[in-house]
Structure 1
Amino acid sequence: MKLKLKVNKKIIILGILILVILGAVTYSHARAQKAKIKAVTTVKVSKKNLIQTASDKGNVEANYRNDITLNPAQKVKKVLVSEGQQVKKGDILIKLDTLEYDSQLEKQKINLDNAQSTLKQFLNSGVANDKSNAQNTVSQSQITLENAQRSYEDANNKFKQSETLFKGGYISQNDYDAAKKALDDASNAVKAAENSLENSRSALNNVNESSEDKIANQRNQVALIQADIDNLNKKIEECNVKADTDGKVIKMDAKEDQYPKTGDMIIVDDTSKYKVSVNISQYDSGKVKVGQKANIKLKGSTKKYTGVVTDIGQFAEMKNSSTSSNSSSQESKVNIKITIDNPDEGIKAGFEADAEIVLDEKKSVLAIGFDAIKDEKAAGKKYVYVVNKDNKVSKKYIKTGLDAEYDVEVTDGLKEGDKCIINPPQNLKEGDIVTEFSAGDTGGSKK
């Protein structure tokens, strides 16, 4: 009986030991299996509206700018408009002093009269009378010169008197200027008479030349003088500085009775429209098309504007490009002009603006975030990891379409509701069992 009890006791102890060992092995295996399960974050594939954009900073410009650079050597006589004033195309903005041109014009008019008179004589007289006529012309020119010289002496005496009176404060600046102009005109008349006398004497010396040659030469002389007169009249007309566009005067450096400084300008802006000039990366510029919509926001303003791409530059230039470290680097960019749809008084040329061009958009398409997509560069394929109902990972190859700021369109390989792993661990592989945490529907990080 004692022997039987001892045997039973040993069997019980052995059974207990076996159970303990089995429990330890099972616990160890369970812990090992649990350690192999990876924690991942998933998102559900869903349909979204995608917008692809290209954006950068730019500056507001007027629809057209009329820049007028003032000549420091030409005195401003009168200013007819002021900054902020609206003007029409052709309106006179300022008048420049024409005194020098007026004097030259009077001289040339006298020369023209004399040249035409000589030509008329050539045409109305025969060869036999040429010498007599030439002599008479010399005599007449001599008389004209003498009269001009007497007029000059008289004008010179009056100017000296005016100069003395002006220095003493007895006459005005205008009276002094009038006396000076009279003296200049008299001097020009003397020079013109001298030229006329010289021409008439030259005609007398050449009286033996053929009548045809003399007439041709004289006609040429008349034409040259007339061309000079036309040129002077044009210069005088150009002294009326005009606007070449409807718009607003935004800069007026001219001051009456003063000579402009180097760099002084008049600027008239056509403010009927405004444009934003923005430089877009060459990588995005190929997608930009005339007519595409754009969103615009002025620096320091909460108001948003819309616009349309109206011009694309024909070449690229190296421009500064901001980086995440607030430093700058050079990047090849293309200039784009965006015409603002709804300009108002809050917009001014020169303002800084942020512009976003809508390159493409699609509505209600399957999409996932960029942070869920992996690349097999050697095969040129893209894939994602999908978690099935039993928490097992499968690898799915996909095809993509339009890429937006955070998400990309999936055209093949996934269906709505699939759960994709975002930022998958490096050691994740197909067939792994995972514990998932949901991040919502196709949330993604910025491209």
Structure 2
Amino acid sequence: MKKVLLTICLATIILFTVGCEKKEAEKAIAQQEQEQPKAPIQQTVQAFGVVKTKQIKGIMVDLPASIEKVHVQEGQRVGKDDVLITLSLKEIEDQIKEKEYSLEIAELELQKLLEEICDKSNENIDDEPEIIEAKYSLRKTQIEYEKLERDLKNKETMLRKGGISQNEFDDSKVILEQKQKEIEYERIKVEDAKNKRRISNNKDALDIKIREKNIALQKSQLQTLKDKIAESGIKGNKIVCALSNGVIEKINNAAGDRLNAEKQIMSILDLDTLIVQANVAEDFIKDIKVGSKAIINPLANSDKEYEGKISRISNIAVQDNGETVVPVEITITEVDDFLLP
């Protein structure tokens, strides 16, 4: 971490004569009145601090995959969508293909079983009372939808002519869309009633239920595999940088390594969250406050100067090399490429 010299401007201001004896002060003041106007200056406190980032982005991927190539090095600047890592996703892609194939077979087997049941004992299933009732409810909803659809077309014409408001037209459109959902629901009810009748009429009901549960499980497992890729934040087979202005802090893996869900691949410092952390002597802490101006000079180049403000003052004092100090945090107003953690 880069060390800096921190100069904090105190809340009070003093004259050049502060620290002199009374007579000497009076003499100095008189001399200043003759030679030049009084010039107040701000009292300051100096402290050493280190540049840090408040945010560190850890890269972790929970996938059965391995690293094909690392594209960056420690200390390298990176930006939004820069490629960091190329992964080999063959293992998880093979798992997805295998699961898709197994799911397709399971669905075909269930379909075949349902057809066999229908041929054996459900020739007249549409004549069952619950099926007739469900189909009647579906048809009724369809008729209501058709009427609402005609009404909406008429209201569209009226809207163009200024006969109704946009809100009234929008409300009618929402009602029509809701009725469409009701139709889909009624269709599901019809199919559900048919399936229930088939199951109740057939000794293979348990087999059907087992197969349906198996299909649901396989679908869930397949979706979990796909979600792992989607939620990992990778693009294709690339891990890309999500930060606009970062620097690689540490790389923990190399090409050929298998990913570990509990281990960071690398960490990236967010340079847009640079701060200075410093310890101020307890004797001076009462004279500074949040918002106090601070001047920052890097020890590596004392000619450079950055402005900042006190953004946090700890409520707890600590011991540092035998001295009682209070940790403070400084937000940097403007940062260039020289100032790094």
- TM-score (normalizing by structure 2): 0.51
SS at 1:93's partner residue? strand
Structure possessing the higher radius of gyration over alpha carbons: 1
Deviations 1:20-44 (A, max 9, x none): xxxxxxxxxxxxxxxxxxxx98322
2:341 is the counterpart of 1:346: no
Deviations 1:27-76 (A, max 9, x none): xxxxxxxxxxxxx98322445524244543221124643233689x9631
CA distance in 2, matches of 1:83, 1:232: 31
Partner of 1:24: none
Deviation, 1:245, is 0.6
Q: Is the 8 A contact 2:65 2:88 kept in 1?
A: yes
Overall identity of the aligned pairs, in %: 19
Q: Report 1:291-310 matches (<5 A).
A: 291-309=291-309
Aligned partner (choices 68, 87, 96) of residue 105 of structure 1: 96
The alpha-carbon distance between structure 1 residues 234 and 91, as it changes in their structure 2 partners (threshold 3 A), is farther
Partner of 1:255: 254
Partner of 1:235: 228
Aligned partner (choices 86, 101, 126) of residue 95 of structure 1: 86
Deviation, 1:222, is 2.6
Gaps of 5+ in 2: 1-20, 30-37, 122-201
Q: Is the 8 A contact 2:65 2:92 kept in 1?
A: no
Q: Is the 8 A contact 1:282 1:332 kept in 2?
A: yes
Deviations 1:225-264 (A, max 9, x none): 2222122123345364232211244346343234589977
The alpha-carbon distance between structure 1 residues 87 and 123, as it changes in their structure 2 partners (threshold 3 A), is farther
Q: Report 1:30-45 matches (<5 A).
A: 42-45=23-26
Aligned partner (choices 196, 199, 208) of residue 203 of structure 2: 208
Q: Is the 8 A contact 1:281 1:331 kept in 2?
A: yes
Q: Report 1:5-404 matches (<5 A).
A: 42-45=23-26, 46=29, 49-62=40-53, 64-68=55-59, 75-83=66-74, 86-121=77-112, 124=115, 126=117, 129=120, 208=203, 210=205, 218-237=211-230, 238=232, 240-251=238-249, 253=251, 254-258=253-257, 265-272=265-272, 274-280=274-280, 288-309=288-309, 311-312=311-312, 316=315, 319-321=318-320, 328-329=321-322, 331=324, 333-341=326-334, 343-349=335-341
Q: How many residues align?
A: 227
Q: Which amino acid aligns with 1:208?
A: K
Deviation, 1:93, is 1.2
Partner of 2:193: none
Q: Is the 8 A contact 1:61 1:274 kept in 2?
A: yes
CA distance in 1, matches of 2:43, 2:210: 75
Q: Is the 8 A contact 2:247 2:270 kept in 1?
A: no
> 257-266 or 75-84, which moves further after superposition?
257-266
Deviation, 1:296, is 0.8
CA distance in 1, matches of 2:207, 2:48: 71
CA distance in 1, matches of 2:118, 2:323: 81
Q: Is the 8 A contact 1:98 1:236 kept in 2?
A: no
The alpha-carbon distance between structure 1 residues 301 and 70, as it changes in their structure 2 partners (threshold 3 A), is farther
Q: Is the 8 A contact 2:60 2:263 kept in 1?
A: yes
Q: Is the 8 A contact 1:62 1:274 kept in 2?
A: yes
Structure with the higher fraction of residues in helix conformation = 2
Deviations 1:405-436 (A, max 9, x none): xxxxxxxxxxxxxxxxxxxxxxxxxxxxxxxx
Deviations 1:298-335 (A, max 9, x none): 1242224232326326x5456442xxxxxx13646344
Deviation, 1:94, is 0.5
Q: Is the 8 A contact 1:293 1:306 kept in 2?
A: no
Deviation, 1:77, is 1.1
CA distance in 2, matches of 1:284, 1:208: 87
CA distance in 1, matches of 2:57, 2:78: 12
- TM-score (normalizing by structure 1): 0.41
Q: Is the 8 A contact 1:277 1:338 kept in 2?
A: no
The alpha-carbon distance between structure 1 residues 286 and 115, as it changes in their structure 2 partners (threshold 3 A), is farther
Partner of 2:13: none
Structure with the higher fraction of residues in strand conformation = 1
Partner of 2:176: none
Deviations 1:124-166 (A, max 9, x none): 5546648xxxxxxxxxxxxxxxxxxxxxxxxxxxxxxxxxxxx
